[in-house]
Structure 1
Amino acid sequence: MTKPEITLEEVKLHCRIDNDYDDEILIVYAEAALEVCQQHIGKRFEDGLSFTPAIKVGCLMYISLLYENREMIGSDGLKEVPLTIHSLWSTYRDVGVY
């Protein structure tokens, strides 16, 4: 099975970014989103987790969250994963995981 991929073009379209200044960090955010998604669900793509449209949308939303909140500590304090992303990923979550 090939590793799921979220292209830079998809990320920039989702985040409404039309410059090339942040390309490198957006690629890292995409990789991080895939990792966090697998941790949340409790299953890895190489172990049979399907890269569904809902998982992809959740990853894109997570990437935009990281991009918009890229400061170490913001004035709003720490935030949990938004309910929308949680809902998209939790559908695939292994009930036996934490």
Structure 2
Amino acid sequence: MNIYVGNISYQTKEEDLVELFSTAGAVDSARIIKDRETGRSKGFGFVEMPNNEEAKAAIEKFNGTEFLSRNITVNEAKPKEERPAGRGPRGGGFGGGGNRRY
């Protein structure tokens, strides 16, 4: 099961998440999401646990608890939604102003 871990300290390392979640069961991987340009943590990440029962127990155990001086949010990760092509709700881009008066 893929688990979302939010409100983590910007200094948290992936190894820290593995160490924490290993107390609830087997951990396949941990990943902290970072800004593409700066490489700085965005303050959340994901932990993959192979056993669903252990993963659910970890969610119950850690959600709302303090970890590295922050109260973390832990829940089952939702699949990423597909984004429409282009920019914005109408496909965006340049031109197509419609109701403009010059």
Asked which structure has the greater RCO (Cα within 8 Å, sep 6+), the reply is 1
Larger Rg: 2
**Between Structure 1 and Structure 2, which shows a larger proportion of strand residues?**
2
Tell me the TM-score normalised to structure 2 length.
Answer: 0.28
